[in-house]
Structure 1
Amino acid sequence: MDQLAAMAAFVRAVETGSLSAAARSLPSSLTSVSRQISALEEHFGTRLLLRTTRQLALTDDGRILYERAKSILGEVKEIEAALARDPHQPSGRIRLSSPSLVGRLVIAPMLVEFLRRYPAISVDLLLIDRTVDMVEEDIHLAVRIGRLRDSQLVTRKLTDLQMIVCAAPDYLARRGEPRTPDDLADHDCLAFSDSPGSAAWRFADGSKTGRKFRISGRLWMNSLDALVAAARDGAGIVRVPSWQVQSDLSSGRLRRLLLDHEPAPTPLHLMLQPSRLASPKIRAFVDYLVEQWGKIDAFRALSARQ
C-alpha cells in the first residue's frame, strides 16, 4: 500500500463527502479509492469511515487520522515546493496562533517586514483566546501567555508581561486613589471577561503566586481596547498589560496605581512541535520574532515604572 496515496484518498473522501466525488477529484477510479481506504482501515486495525448510501461519517479514530493525515500531506506539499525553489530561500506557509490582543497589537504589525524579507513564505495568523491543540488544528507555532505545564513542545520565551492597574486623573480626583488592593472593593473597576459575574485581580502578597482580591466590577467588556478607552474617559480603574497603555501613561491620560502591589510578570512563550525545528521557514520566523520582540522590550524598559 502506498500510504501517502491512501491518506490522500481518505482525506479527499472526507472533504468531498463521498468516495465517488473523491475519485473524480483525484482523479482515480471509485474501486481504487475504496480499496485504498479499506487498506488503511486494515493497516490501522480500526474502522475509519461509516458509509451510508447518502454520506460518509468519520469514526472517532477516523477523525484522529483525518487531522494527522491532513497535516502530513500539507508538510509533504511544502517539502516538494521548497525543493523546487531556491534551497537557500525559506518558503511555504506558516500557521501561527496567538491570543487576540497580543496578536493584533504586537504580532500583526511585525508580519509586514517578515513577509518583505521572505517573499516565498505566507503566514496565517489565527487570533484565538484559548489553548489550541497544535497537532489536531495543524498549528505550526503558538504564542501562549502564562506559566507552562510540562510539555513535549519546544518553547522559546519571548518576554514577560506586566499586568498593571491604572485610571484617569479625572476619576482619581473624584474618587480618590486606592492605596491597597483591598481598596478596590470601593471603586468602579472595569472588568475584562466574556461574561459578567464575580471578578478578582491578582496582586503580590509576598508569596510566589500572589493573592486574588475581589473587585467591584461596574462595567464588563470582552475587549481590552474598549475598557482602556472607558478608563481614559474616567469610567473607572482598569487592569491591562503595561505595554498596551504606555502612550497613555507617558502622556498622563492614565496613572499607574498600586505599583508596590503589582504581581510578578507573566511569561509569554512561543511554542512549536519538535518536528518543526528542521523547517527553514519555521527557523526564519522564530529568529525574526525573537529579534523583533527584543527591540520592543528595549523600548519598554525605558518606561517600565512610569
Structure 2
Amino acid sequence: MDQLAALATFVRAVDHGSLSAAARSVPSSLTSVSRQISALERHFGTRLLVRTTRQLALTEDGRMLYERAKSILGELKEIEERLAGNRREPSGRLRVSAPALMGRLLIAPLLGDFLRAYPSLSVDLLLVDRNVDLIEEDVHLALRVGRMPDSQLVMRKLAEVQMIHCASPDYLARRGEPHTPADLAQHDCLVFSDAPGAATWRFGREANSGARIRISGRLWVNSLDALAVAAENGAGIVRVPSWQVEKQLVEGRLRRLLREHEPAPAPLNALYQPSRLGSTKIRAFIDFLVERWRRSDPLCR
C-alpha cells in the first residue's frame, strides 16, 4: 500500500463527503478508493469511517487521522512550494481568514490589485468574528487582533489597531459628555458581543494596569457596522476601531470621547502553521498587506 496515496484518498473522501465523490475528483474508480480506505483501516487496526447510504461519518480515530493526515499532506505541499519557490512565482489557492469588518473594509478593496500582481494565485477570503482552526478548516493564514496566548503557530505582527469611544453630538447634547471611564455608568453604552449581556472595557495605556469597567448596555449587537450606525443615530456610546469611523469623525457625525483614557493599541497579527514557513504565497500576501497599510496607515490613528 502506498500510504501517502491512501491518506490523500482518505482526506478527499472526508472532504467530499462520499467515496464516489472522492473518486470523481481524481478521477479514479470507486473500487480503488474503497480499497485504499479499507487498506488504511487494516494497517492502523481500527475503523476510520462509518459508511451510510447518504454520507460518511468519522470515528474518533478517523477524526484524529484526518486532522493529522491533512496536516502532513499540507506540509508536503509546502515543501514542494518552498523547493520550487526560487524557480516560479507564487501560485495556487490561498485561504485567508480575517475579522468580518476588517476583511470587508480593509482587505477586500485591495484584493483586485493583489490578484493582478500575482496572476497565478487564487484567494479564498473567510470573514468570521471567531478564531478559526487552521488545520480543521484548511486555512493557510489567519489575521487576528489582540495579544495571542502561547501558541505553536508562527506569528507576524502586521500593524496595530486603536479602539476608541465615540457618540453622536445629539446624544452628547442630551446626556452630557463622560470625562472619566467611571462616568460611563451614567450613560447608554453599545455592546459588541455574540450574545446579550455585560461586557468589560479596558482603559489605560498599560496592558496589565488601568481601569476595567464593566459595561451593561441597553443595546448589544453582534455587528460593529450596526453598532456604529446606532451610535450615529443617538443610541449611545460605542467602542470601535478608529479606522471604522474615521469618516464619521471627520464629518462630525460622531465625536471621539475619553481620548486620554484610551487603551494601548492592540496588535494585528498574521498566524500560520510552522509547516508553511516557506510558503511563497503566504509571504507574498503578508508583504502586500504590510506595504499597502504602511503607505496609507489606515489602522491605528
SS of the residue 1:210 aligns to: coil
CA contact (8 A) 2:78 2:276 kept: no
Residue 72 to residue 93, structure 1, CA distance change in 2 (3 Å): farther
Structure-2 residue corresponding to 1:278: 278
State the Cα distance separating 1:217 from its structure 2 match.
Answer: 1.2
Residue 202 to residue 23, structure 1, CA distance change in 2 (3 Å): closer
Is 1:237 aligned with 2:272? no
CA contact (8 A) 1:68 1:136 kept: no
Structure-1 residue corresponding to 2:5: 5
User: Higher RCO, 1 or 2 (CA under 8 Å, sep at least 6)?
Assistant: 2
Percent sequence identity over matched residues? Answer: 69
Can you give the 5+ residue segments of structure 1 that lack an aligned partner in the other structure? none
Residue 22 to residue 190, structure 1, CA distance change in 2 (3 Å): closer
Is 1:93 aligned with 2:85? no
State the Cα distance separating 1:33 from its structure 2 match.
Answer: 3.5
Residue 120 to residue 79, structure 1, CA distance change in 2 (3 Å): farther
Letter in 2 for 1:289: L
CA contact (8 A) 1:78 1:92 kept: no
- Superposed CA offset, 1:13-49 (max 9, x none): 445666567557642362x444422332344443212
Aligned residue runs from structure 1 range 202-213, under 5 A: 202-204=202-204, 208-213=208-213
CA contact (8 A) 1:147 1:267 kept: yes
Structure-2 residue corresponding to 1:293: 293
Structure-1 residue corresponding to 2:106: 106
CA contact (8 A) 1:201 1:213 kept: yes
Structure-2 residue corresponding to 1:27: 28
SS of the residue 1:178 aligns to: coil
State the Cα distance separating 1:85 from its structure 2 match.
Answer: 12
State the Cα distance separating 1:257 from its structure 2 match.
Answer: 0.8
State the Cα distance separating 1:57 from its structure 2 match.
Answer: 2.9
Structure 1 distance, partners of 2:53, 2:237, is 61
Structure 2 distance, partners of 1:27, 1:189, is 59
CA contact (8 A) 2:168 2:233 kept: yes
SS of the residue 1:170 aligns to: helix
Aligned residue runs from structure 1 range 35-50, under 5 A: 35-50=35-50
Give the alignment's TM-score, normalised by structure 2.
Answer: 0.86
Letter in 1 for 2:222: N
Residue 109 to residue 2, structure 1, CA distance change in 2 (3 Å): same
Per mean C-alpha deviation after superposition, the further-off stretch among 223-232 and 1-10 is 1-10
Letter in 1 for 2:118: Y
SS of the residue 1:275 aligns to: helix
Residue 28 to residue 291, structure 1, CA distance change in 2 (3 Å): same
State the Cα distance separating 1:230 from its structure 2 match.
Answer: 1.8
Structure 2 distance, partners of 1:167, 1:20, is 57
Structure 1 distance, partners of 2:112, 2:151, is 31
- Superposed CA offset, 1:246-286 (max 9, x none): 12222222111111211121111001112212222222112
State the Cα distance separating 1:93 from its structure 2 match.
Answer: 0.3
Structure 2 distance, partners of 1:19, 1:226, is 44
State the Cα distance separating 1:77 from its structure 2 match.
Answer: 7.5
Structure-2 residue corresponding to 1:224: 224
What number of residue pairs does the alignment pair up?
A: 300
Structure 2 distance, partners of 1:55, 1:241, is 43
- Superposed CA offset, 1:157-192 (max 9, x none): 011111111111221122111111111111121221
Per mean C-alpha deviation after superposition, the further-off stretch among 70-79 and 92-101 is 70-79
Can you give the 5+ residue segments of structure 2 that lack an aligned partner in the other structure? none
CA contact (8 A) 1:94 1:124 kept: yes
SS of the residue 2:218 aligns to: strand
RMSD: 3.1
Structure 2 distance, partners of 1:279, 1:210, is 40
